[in-house]
């Protein structure tokens, strides 16, 4: 996806008088489709470069899904010096770790992510339509009506990026262990998650992350999906504002 996926938040917080900065991850959106560096260390270093270039101080970093892992690693490794970061928000985020390992026996089997890679390689365009019209926004739930504009916008954003970046990114979001990152983060952190998230199950993510954080606050949304920032922006945005102003 790209910075466009934050439209509902960008406009909301601009209207509240905030400066809002969003970026397209390397290989995604309008950023260069480079062939390497599609891992959390590079993602975090890229954020650090943007922050330094813009001279940002006292910023609130908000990351959704893979971006939650990206923001976690940035704050842990780059953002706690020189007053760069005031607060952190993780929404439907992948930490601590998604894949099943000996240390994380309740994680998702690696075959799940192998399947993602296979579907992406076989027909990326169809795969993105299927994800957006199904589990990402909960449009596959009984009685749910898919918002076609939302589905098409998700697909548009996805197809702007590069297949290599997306293929490698699956490993980055599923296999990176953020446990130690979470433990060292000292800024106030809000962990927001829908309990009907079919992409990043809440039991293996938000519930664990909130316990590992020194100053973590957990906010669970009953029945809400992974893409809640888009479909339930009217619920998410005021809660973000309350946390930022606190």
pLDDT bin (cut points 50, 70, 90) of residue 80 is: confident
Find the mean pLDDT for residues 46-66: 96
| Residue 191 three-state SS | strand
pLDDT digits (tens, 9 = 90+) for 84-132: 999 999 999 999 999 999 989 999 999 999 999 999 999 999 999 999 9
pLDDT digits (tens, 9 = 90+) for 188-232: 999 999 999 999 999 999 999 999 999 999 999 999 999 999 999
pLDDT bin (cut points 50, 70, 90) of residue 62 is: very high
Token readout for 161 is 């990026």
Find the mean pLDDT for residues 37-57: 97
Residues forming the active site: 65, 197, 226
Domains of the chain: 3-245 (3.40.50.1820)
pLDDT digits (tens, 9 = 90+) for 128-150: 999 999 999 999 999 999 999 99
Print the SS3 string covering 85-141: EEEEEEECCCCCCCECCCCCCCCECHHHHHHHHHHHHHHHHHHHHHHHHCCCCCCCC
Q: Which of 46, 41, 99 is nearest to 69 (CA)?
A: 41
Residue 153 predicted with pLDDT over 90: yes
Residue 83 predicted with pLDDT over 90: no
If you ran DSSP here, which 8-state letter would residue 65 be given?
T
pTM score, whole prediction: 0.96
């Amino acid at each position: 996806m790209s910075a466009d996926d934050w439209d509902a938040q960008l406009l909301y917080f601009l209207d509240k008088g905030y400066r809002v900065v969003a970026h397209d991850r390397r290989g995604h959106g309008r950023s260069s489709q480079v062939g390497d560096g599609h891992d959390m260390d590079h993602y975090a270093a890229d954020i650090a470069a943007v922050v330094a270039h813009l001279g940002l101080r006292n910023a609130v970093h908000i990351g959704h899904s893979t971006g939650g892992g990206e923001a976690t690693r940035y704050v842990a490794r780059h953002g706690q010096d020189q007053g760069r970061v005031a607060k952190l928000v993780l929404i439907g985020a992948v930490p601590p770790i998604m894949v099943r390992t000996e240390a994380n026996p309740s994680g998702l089997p690696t075959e799940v992510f192998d399947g993602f890679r296979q579907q992406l390689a076989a027909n990326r365009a169809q795969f993105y339509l299927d994800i957006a019209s199904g589990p990402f926004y909960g449009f596959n739930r009984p009685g749910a009506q898919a918002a076609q504009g939302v589905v098409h916008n998700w697909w548009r954003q996805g197809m702007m990026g590069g297949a290599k970046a997306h293929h490698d990114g699956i490993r980055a979001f599923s296999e990176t262990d953020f446990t130690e990152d979470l433990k060292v983060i000292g800024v106030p952190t809000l962990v927001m998650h829908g309990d009907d998230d079919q992409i990043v199950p809440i039991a293996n993510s938000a519930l664990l992350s909130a316990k590992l954080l020194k100053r973590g606050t957990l906010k669970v949304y009953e029945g809400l999906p992974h893409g809640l920032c888009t479909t339930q922006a009217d619920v998410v945005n005021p809660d973000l504002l309350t946390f930022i102003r606190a």
